[in-house]
Amino acid sequence: MKRHRQNVVRACLTVLTGLIVGCSAVLTSSVTYADLPEVGDPARGEAIYRDGANGTVTPCTGCHVENSAGAPALIGVNYAEVAQSRVEGQTAREYTFHAIVAPASYIVAGYGNAMPEYYGARLSAQDLADVIAYLLSVP
């Protein structure tokens, strides 16, 4: 029952986030794919994924959890394999970068466009590389 309540709360927060994002100005990413360092730190990326980054962004775990109604789960699904197959011609790393900084560019079937658009403007190139490295390292 507690888990169900948590999922309901997460779903409500996802919808609320979508409404806020939909009503706010869209922030353009200050980081391009070419800006990403070649190597990210998966441990640091996990911390950003779970806790956010210095109060500037919502943690990914606010929405991307198992059985979420608002966003697909990213952990426990072999994310690298899934990301590799999302957009023809993009590597898993490229897809993940674009999914974070320009989330409306590809919407996963069954989900709306609730992902905040500010991650690319608020996270550094290293932060993004670290989160991507974490996601691609988790089986």
21 pLDDT exceeds 60?
Answer: no
Domain that holds residue 102: 2-137
**pLDDT at res. 108:** 85
pLDDT, tens only, 69-83: 788 888 888 999 999
Distance between CA 93 and CA 91 in Å, rounded?
5
Structure tokens belonging to residue 75? 């952990």
pLDDT, tens only, 85-121: 999 999 999 999 999 999 998 888 888 888 888 888 9
When mean pLDDT is compared over 8-12, 55-59, 127-131, the highest value belongs to 127-131
The total number of structural domains that make up the chain = 1
Compute the radius of gyration of the chain from its Cα atoms.
14
Q: What is the pTM of this model?
A: 0.77
CATH of the domain at 63: 1.10.760
